[in-house]
Amino acid sequence: MRRIAGVLLAAGVGARFGGHKLLAPLANGTALGVAAARCLRGALPDVLAVVRPGDTELSRLLAAEGVRVMECPDAEQGMGRSLAAGVAATPGVEGWLVALADMPYIKTSTCMRVTQALIEDAVLAAPFHNGRRGHPVGFSAALKDELLALRGDRGARDLLERHRLQLARIAVDDPGIFQDIDVPADLMLAAG
């Protein structure tokens, strides 16, 4: 069976939120970043969170969830750099399920279905709800070199566009694949 690693991108600053949003509590009291990690942990035994240097409280909370944590020394270069660092830190796997730490409402079943597509040889896989692509996104090892070359805030968007014809579209009934938290009001909308 193919070995897939989960990569949780948690190195953002949260400037629009006005503080460390990944520590913000959801309605049930769980820190936002922890809730996002639980989706990956529910689908995969091997999960790595990429955090910014010195983010000790988030690192502690994620480690308590069974997630390996690494600091990305050049996280300020953008999400692409954090993703490249996460891929580099997970050698020997056949693919990666990449999730964003500010998206806490994705169902574990969605993470499992995208992972299964990678296990079944998809080059790329992503969940779709009502015809729209969401997160998390799965990448096979065939894309490793392109993932390692990522830089900037566009993350893997250009890579997804280049390989769009190879994308396995996983239909899900999960609006959480779109629901990210950017500002405090997003927490209230999600709770309501």
Model-level pTM greater than 0.85?
yes
Task: Look over the chain and give the mean of its residue pLDDT values, rounded to a whole number.
Answer: 91
Determine the average pLDDT of the residues in 110-116. Answer: 97
pLDDT digits (tens, 9 = 90+) for 154-176: 778 889 999 999 999 999 999 99
Inform me whether the pLDDT recorded for 137 exceeds 90: yes
pLDDT value, residue 184? 77
- What percent of the chain has pLDDT above 70? 94
- Give the fold, CATH level 3, of 4-191: Spore Coat Polysaccharide Biosynthesis Protein SpsA; Chain A (3.90.550)
Find tokens 């460390």 and name the residue: 20
Other beta carbons less than 10 A from residue 121's beta carbon: 12
Contact 127, 37 (CB under 8 A): no
Determine the average pLDDT of the residues in 35-60. Answer: 95
Q: How confident is the model at residue 192 (pLDDT cuts 50, 70, 90)?
A: very low
pLDDT-wise least confident of 11-15, 22-26, 95-99: 11-15
User: Helices 32-43 and 108-119: crossing angle, nearest 10°?
Assistant: 40
Contact 5, 97 (CB under 8 A): yes
Contact 6, 49 (CB under 8 A): no
Q: What angle do CA 4, 150, 187 make, to 5 degrees?
A: 75
* CA atoms of 6 and 115, how far apart (whole Å): 9
* CA atoms of 191 and 27, how far apart (whole Å): 6
The structural domains of the chain, with segments of one domain joined by +, span 4-191
| Spatial CA neighbour of 154 closest among 84, 52, 51, 53 | 84
pLDDT value, residue 140? 97
Other beta carbons less than 10 A from residue 170's beta carbon: 22
Helix (H, G, I), strand (E, B) or coil at 4: strand
pLDDT value, residue 153? 76
Determine the average pLDDT of the residues in 56-71. Answer: 96
**Amino acid identity for residue 90 in this structure:** T
Q: How confident is the model at residue 191 (pLDDT cuts 50, 70, 90)?
A: very low
* CA atoms of 189 and 77, how far apart (whole Å): 30
Helix (H, G, I), strand (E, B) or coil at 77: helix
